[in-house]
Chain A
Amino acid sequence: MDDVRTVPNTSRRFVDILHERPEVILSILLFIVLIGGWELVVRVFDVPKIIVPAPSAVIVSLIDGLRSPNFLYHFWVTFFETMVGFGLGASIGLLLGGIIGQFPLLERTLYPYVVAFQTIPKVAVAPIIVIWFGYGISSKVVITATIAFFPVLANTIVGLRATPLDQLELLVAYTANRWQTFWKVKVPQALPYIFVGLDVAIVLAVIGAIVGEFVGAQAGLGYLIMQRNFSMDMAGTFAILVVLSIMGMALHGIMQMIQRRIVFWMEPAEDRVMGA
């Protein structure tokens, strides 16, 4: 009886995946349908390629780009700005968050200013920063840092307050001083929150670098988008969007990997509800 119902191994595995993680299959299917439909619409209705390029044209442009040292140079400039700006913004956010989180009075004094700073759209500030720091890489790094700074700061402050009272009492009762309490329980407890902030910040950092390059730059993928737009190279512009999207996803993935390593005692972030 059982033999009759036995399904060949490979198709059974496929069925298992379909049952356990149907979203994976559905995502891939959706991707194929969307890209295929797009390609079809562009070809059937003969849409001008300066308005919407066909996915095939985007892929060709992408491959051309990846082969050309010029494109790679622009990629590295943007990547560099993103990483350095993120590093700078996140470091300042961590440091300031650590200090503010330790002193409630300081938090109450400074936080209105921090929020005021955050409500100013960074895009609006970008031209000023370009004037102050020039058309080179440094202005992009500063713009990226101002964007990456806030989520790290906010989550660090919230995280440092997240320590359960009984853990604080444990440390106090065993005669721990402020410094020991900070490093031995408050920081580990804040880590899951800090990683949420870092994860948001690194994705925003890519946006920061591109915005900075839009305002005024001599290199970078944002600069290249402007250039290609002027020459009506739509496929080329889309190819850059693909690269930027992959870069953002890769950075997000790496951040999650690091988080799982460091905050090993916690469930992955997707499964929990956490702070800002």
Chain B
Amino acid sequence: MTATIARVERRYAPPPFNPTVSADGEVLIEINGLNKIYHGRDGAAIHALSGINLSVADGEFVTIVGPSGCGKSTLLKILTGTLRKTAGRITIRDREIDGPSRDLGIVFQAPVLLPWRTILENVMLPIEVQRLDAPKFRERARALLRLVGLQGFEDKYPGELSGGMQQRVGICRALVHDPALLLMDEPFGALDAMTREQMNLELLRIWQENRKTVMLVTHSIPEAVFLADRVVVMSPRPGRITDVIEVDLPRPRALSMINSTAFGHYVEIIRTHFTASGGID
């Protein structure tokens, strides 16, 4: 145990000055020199993202953590194609993407289910929009709903489900078209603490079964550490990556690990960054 901590300390005591990180294994998504500048009403430029470089390997679970205003949601919005980048290059499997891409599954902060569609129809939305083979994917949709424990709810409407259940449906919808990359923007932020822990475990279980590459934005440091292979730490004004921390906790993760010294140490390292950059929200 002490050896682990020592190793962590040795590796991370001096914050790395070069935020470019190459992941091990085959690179799935690569972000190079990404910049985003907003223009406010008064014409003043707001530098939301500055020189973001990040590579994520196939099958990797990366969490992005930072105080509010650090541009983590902006980064995700650019990746989903709902926001234009100012400069930089994003490639998925060496193919440049600029705008919405079929290779992505997206889970938003709110479940964003359409209330006039049944649960199954909501999960099938990406299939319909992308004109994929509906009968084939309907079986996959049912299997995903079974995987998250929502069998029997296929023909119910979103209004009949709790918040946690709705977010599970949102996860199924993000996975139904078998995307290469799963993007999650503070997916459990709206849930209570208990449900949130359960959803974290469930997400890891789904990830273990599918081995999808995941990029998840959160403002909770323990959540970021608990889920991730690597934690990307961002700081505000301008939003940039200040550190990337490899989390060497064994998998599958269990809630009991949260109380371990190693876990606490990772949390401590990240928190130090936040206090250095002017506190957390």
Contacts and interface: CB of A to CB of B under 8 A. Distances in A.
Interface of A: 166-167, 169-176, 180, 184-185, 188, 263-266
B112 A166 contact: yes
B81 A173 contact: yes
Chain B: interface size category: 20 to 34
A274 B159 CA distance: 20
Interface string B96-129: 0000111010101010101110000000011011
24 contacts: A166-B108, A166-B112, A167-B112, A169-B80, A169-B82, A170-B112, A170-B125, A171-B129, A172-B82, A173-B82, A173-B100, A174-B125, A175-B81, A175-B101, A175-B129, A180-B128, A180-B129, A184-B114, A184-B125, A184-B129, A188-B114, A188-B116, A264-B116, A265-B116
Contacts of A188: 114, 116
A174 B110 contact: no
Contacts, number: 52
A185 B126 contact: no
A172 B116 contact: no
Contacts of A265: 115-116, 157, 159
Contacts of B162: none
Contacts of A180: 128-129
A172 B129 CA distance: 10
Nearest to B183: A173
B2 interface: no
A50 B30 CA distance: 89
B275 interface: no
A167 B82 CA distance: 12
Given A184-B125, A184-B128, A265-B157, A173 B104 contact: yes
B110 A166 contact: yes
Q: 5 closest pairs, A vs B, by CB?
A: A265-B115, A173-B80, A176-B129, A175-B100, A174-B126
Nearest to A265: B115
A132 B110 CA distance: 56
B114 A185 contact: yes
Contacts of B106: 170, 173-174
B256 interface: no
A172 B157 contact: no
A266 to B, nearest CB: 8
B259 interface: no
Interface string B154-198: 000101000000000000000000000000000000000000000
A180 B128 CA distance: 9
A264 B159 CA distance: 11
A31 B233 CA distance: 72
Nearest to A191: B116
B130 interface: yes
Of B104, B115, B157, the most chain A CB neighbours within 10 A belong to B115
